[in-house]
Structure 1
Amino acid sequence: MRGHDWINSCFPDELIVEIFSRLHSKSTRDACSLVCRRWFRLERRTRTTLRIGATHLFLHRLPSRFSNIRNLYIDERLSIPLHLVRPINLLPFLHLNLNLNLNFIFIFIFFQGKRRPNDEEGDLDSLCLSDAGLSALGEGFPKLHKLGLIWCSNVSSDGLTSLARKCTSLKALDLQGCYVGDQGLAAVGQCCKQLEDLNLRFCEGLTDTGLVELALGVGKSLKSLGVAACAKITDISMEAVGSHCRSLETLSLDSECIHNKGLLAVAQGCPTLKVLKLQCINVTDDALQAVGANCLSLELLALYSFQRFTDKGLRGIGNGCKKLKNLTLIDCYFISDKGLEAIANGCKELTHLEVNGCHNIGTLGLEYIGRSCQYLTELALLYCHRIGDVSLLEVGKGCKFLQVLHLVDCSSIGDDAMCSIANGCRNLKKLHIRRCYKIGNKGLIAVGKHCKSLTDLSIRFCDRVGDGALTAIAEGCSLHYLNVSGCHQIGDAGVIAIARGCPQLCYLDVSVLQNLGDMAMAELGEHCTLLKEIVLSHCRQITDVGLTHLVKSCTLLESCQMVYCSGITSAGVATVVSSCPNMKKVLVEKWKVSQRTKRRAGSVIACLCVDL
């Protein structure tokens, strides 16, 4: 019978909750929750995860509304720019069956109003999580498993202590940017015996005392630890970790206060270590050799800005860490080809390699990798001016499973290298090249001919790449992502070929293409109806006419950037906004936005259009 609510009449709460629990799409669940008051209430029962910003005013309401929350993340980097906040009640609108995507648990009406100058600090403090709020969270969510307190600057040891005593099942705790002290961290160690994951990045109030107490308390369960910019945490803490945290699998250290002594203790005491990320300028080869000798299960090693160790340390890793799969070397100035040779000879299972700004690594080092590491799937070479074509010839011959290749400012790599990659690495799915001026049409044509699985291509500021390359790519590949920003030889012909050959295209960046005009926009509008993001900035030949053709069928567009396009006027901006109901971001000069456009799409234009 029309108008009769059969579902709510016949289905019990338990069955509706079970249905909601099987909906994995957040947007679908959000839409269902707005059907009626009952569905709104029942859907909240199925929520296990909340991500919110600065909402101290509403924390006391969370437990009663979301009774099954296990994972809670509060990030106060999500700042509120205006001064006054008033909550809006959603319930009067719940009779509307709207397919809305709710990105936040609460919706606020923000408005600019008059206030006294000395009220600002009080208003902001009221929006920040306090010790009282944290205590209330512990009271309301005693079964929390994961808690993130990101840059919650008003939280202290008192609040953390109160929460730790109530949330004894806590398994993951992120305190990034919180000024908590040793007392709070010690309480976590005493009460949360199941803690496995702890992040202490930018916790400036901590000293060795707190971390040592924590290691004593949760040493048997702790598996992951991150420490960065904690000036008072030294080798003493790392020695405690090495002594008590025998199950530690992941360690991330960024500190000038950690020396060999601390890392040696971890290497000797944590044999199950699998992930090690270090930015410690006072650590030397001796520590890395200890890691190689003791941490035989190591799978990922990332070394940042090391200036006190050499190939000797990498030889230790190559000799001992046979299971190493992922190696990142950034600004490691004293590592040479011999270091990579040791890795290639000892770590045959290597799948990911990034070499960034290591100026002593050249062609020979990468040749060793190409010959020995046949399972390599991802390779990134950034600012490697000494690595030439011959190295990628070996990679093309030996690394048949390569799927991702990044090349940035590699001035000695050219078309011969790309032809070798294309011929040998036919499973390539992602290719990103930036400012490699020797790479031109020849190399990209080979990629289009042989790499049929390529879906993600970025060729930025490569002056020798033109329309011929894009035509070959369009004939051989079905791209979803394309960025050709700054490739001045590319014009309408190349982009038209892409439009006709890649109907699955979702992202396109054609910024700074001076020869691109309205014909290409018309073809994109006709063939690439799935397009969601487009960047047209600094394209002076594109006009309102081209934009009209583009948005006629590309109604799924969510983002459009068209800064410094002299042919685009306020009429073109209005056309984009009115034709694309899903639009979330429009970047354009402020003076091109009419008052009518502001009224029609204020949330899109007002926030994102600026004077440039």
Structure 2
Amino acid sequence: MSVLEESPDSPLKKRPPRWSDIWLKKTKPLKHVVFAMQLQSLASKDPKSQTLIPHFANIDRTLLLSDELLLKILSKLPLSQRNPNSLVCKRWLNLQGRLVRSLKILDWNFLVSCRLVTRFPNLAHVDLLNACLFSPRNSEFRLTHRMVSMQMSSGFCSNWDLLEENLLPVGVVDRGLQVLANGCPNLRRLVVINASELGLLTLAEECLTLQELELHKCNDNVLRGIAACENLQILRLVGTVDGLYSSLVSDIGLTILAQGCKRLVKLELSGCEGSFDGIKAIGQCCLMLEELTISDHRMEDGWLAALSYCENLKTLKLLSCKRIDWNPGPDEYLGFCPTLERLHLQKCQLRNKKSMRALFRVCEAVREVIVVGCWGLDNDMFNFANVCRRVKFLSLQGCSLLTTEGLEAAILSWKDLETLIVVSCKNIKESGISPALATLFCNLKELRWRPEAKSFLSSGLVGSGMGRRGGKFFKRS
């Protein structure tokens, strides 16, 4: 017997198992991969076996990978490759659908036929705004708005609410919300228009993780359904949009909202009516509210005084408001927001001195003031900002009535000012810069100065050291 030949009783026959044998025994997909590699290697060495290559090439090697493993691989690819990857095969199409988290729906039938929830079962953000509009085909008229873009059945409407006759019925919208709630229980954000209390209640019961909601054409009754969304943190309510649709949100709805959604962090009220009582209820109940946005409001006089009840408010935004508060009441009833850090005014009409004085009194603890494209802000109006002694950041854009003297009168008392941005304010002239204002400029961390097109201040400051405090240099805009 040869020395290397194994006998039946030889101990060499019972070779201890190797680690690779144990590993391969419990990994069936990997054994297929190893076998395929060996088969390809043998086929490349033996010319007689070249016929195996075409047969082996037709095998989909990704079938050896589980769905979970293939999903991890596909999720690492860039977003630009998602659409091409979904065209590989049906399996990849389904897997790519499971990776989609955000979607804007344009076809309502895609939702109510359950194809949406079947194709994209893991949706977290859904926008139904355009899908809720009936857009007739072959129409000669097209409506374009910052919210929607759609074909119109006619060019004119008797009441000038152009979207009223093109909205899906409330019952149809509610049925779509029910399908969405049943198919996407992990929904976190939703945009919808013309829903009712019943549809939102269904959504609140099924989608417990819903945190952000944007509701158009809202009214007081609908807010009963929103109040059931206990985990809601971000909410945008649109009541009336001039020329598109009209709806009523009053103190009743705001009180219902405040008592139900106590975890709100951000709230935007657009085209809503209300008064002191509604804002007060929100401030007393929504203790976590940090950001409040008032857009195109239709509120009654005296609502500014209710802001003092928002004890944890950090950001106040007023957007496209035709008026602030024409009769805010006496100063002793105004109060102020002690935690407020940011005041943002954009495209508002600031023509009433009582309103501006009351606004700055309420916001006297603010650290950042941003004014963009507001009408009526002159020297007298801006002088009321003297009470805001903690301002560190000031940005003025498109304030055509404000002059250099008015700017100086307000900001010289701001000892903590670090950043100043002045853009497109044509009446602020470099020739009017006083020595005191120039000294203030030298102590800033950042200065962005372009009040008019022919501004040469930046070139004239070369070598002066202006704007070098804190290690940040002067920036040219």
Q: Normalising by structure 2, report the TM-score.
A: 0.60
Deviations 1:551-578 (CA, angstroms, capped at 9, x unpaired)? xx96x75xx5xxxxxxxxxxxxxxxxxx
Q: Secondary structure at the match of 1:303?
A: strand
Post-superposition offset of 1:296: 1.9
Which secondary structure does the structure 2 equivalent of 1:350 belong to?
coil
Q: From the CA coordinates, give the structure whose radius of gyration is larger.
A: 2
2:210 counterpart of 1:273: yes
Deviation, 1:159, is 6.2
8 Å CA contact 1:348–1:373 kept in 2: the answer is: yes
Contact 1:381–1:407 (CA under 8 A) maintained in structure 2: yes
Post-superposition Cα deviations, 1:187-215, rounded to whole Å, max 9, x if no partner, equal: x2xxx3xx583222557894433224257
The residue type equivalent to 1:273 in the other structure is L
- Quick one: structure 1 residues 507 and 140, their matched pair in 2 at CA, closer, same or farther if it must change by over 3 Å? farther
Distance 1:517 1:327, change over 3 A: closer
Q: Distance in 2 between matches of 1:330 and 1:523?
A: 44
Q: C-alpha distance in 2, partners of 1:436/1:212?
A: 47
2:181 is matched by which residue type in structure 1?
G
Letter in 1 for 2:311: Q
* Distance change (3 Å), C-alpha of 1:364 and 1:471: closer
* CA gap 1:161/1:491 in 2 versus in 1, 3 angstroms: farther
Unmatched 5+ residue regions in structure 1? 1-137, 168-187, 532-552, 561-612
Tell me by how many angstroms 1:432 deviates: 2.0
1:28-427 matches, within 5 Å, as 142-144=73-75, 148=79, 158=87, 161=90, 163-165=92-94, 188=97, 192=98, 197-200=101-104, 202=106, 206-208=110-112, 209-214=114-119, 217-218=121-122, 223-231=124-132, 234-248=173-187, 250-255=188-193, 258-279=195-216, 281=217, 284-292=219-227, 294-306=228-240, 307-311=246-250, 312-332=252-272, 334-358=273-297, 360-370=298-308, 372-382=309-319, 383-388=321-326, 390=328, 397-408=335-346, 409-414=348-353, 417-418=356-357, 421=360, 425-427=364-366
Deviation (angstroms), 1:471:
6.2
Q: Tell whether the 8 Å contact from 1:418 to 1:443 is kept in structure 2 after alignment.
A: no
Tell me, what secondary structure is at the counterpart of 2:328? helix
Q: Percent identity?
A: 17
Q: CA deviation at 1:410?
A: 3.3
**How many corresponding residue pairs?**
356
Change (3 A) 1:403 1:203: farther
SS at match of 1:142: helix
Residue equivalent to 1:99 = none
Aligned partner of 1:473 in structure 2 is 411
Give how far 1:480 is off: 2.9
Q: CA deviation at 1:435?
A: 2.8
Aligned-partner Cα distance in 1 for 2:78–2:196 = 31
1:457 counterpart residue number: 395
Q: After superposition, where does 1:567-606 map in structure 2 within 5 Å?
A: none
CA RMSD of aligned residues (A): 4.3
CA displacement, residues 456-475 of structure 1 (integer Å, 9 cap, x when unaligned): 32253252443352365266
- How far 1:399 sits from its partner (Å)? 0.3
Amino acid at match of 2:255: R
Q: TM-score, normalised by structure 1?
A: 0.49
Find out whether 1:428 has 2:367 as its counterpart.
yes
Alpha-carbon spacing, 1:203–1:477, altered in 2? closer, same or farther (3 Å): farther
Deviation at 1:508, TM superposition (A): 3.0
Q: Identify which range, 298-307 or 195-204, moves more after superposition.
A: 195-204
Shift of residue 314 of structure 1? 2.2
Q: 1:426 to 1:449 in 2, by over 3 A?
A: closer
Alpha-carbon deviation of 1:301?
0.9
Residues of 2 paired with 1:355 and 1:391: CA distance? 20
Look up the equivalent residue of 2:231 and give its one-letter code: S
Taking the aligned partners of 2:401 and 2:294, their CA distance within structure 1 comes to 24
In the aligned structure 2, how far is the partner of 1:322 from the partner of 1:354? 17
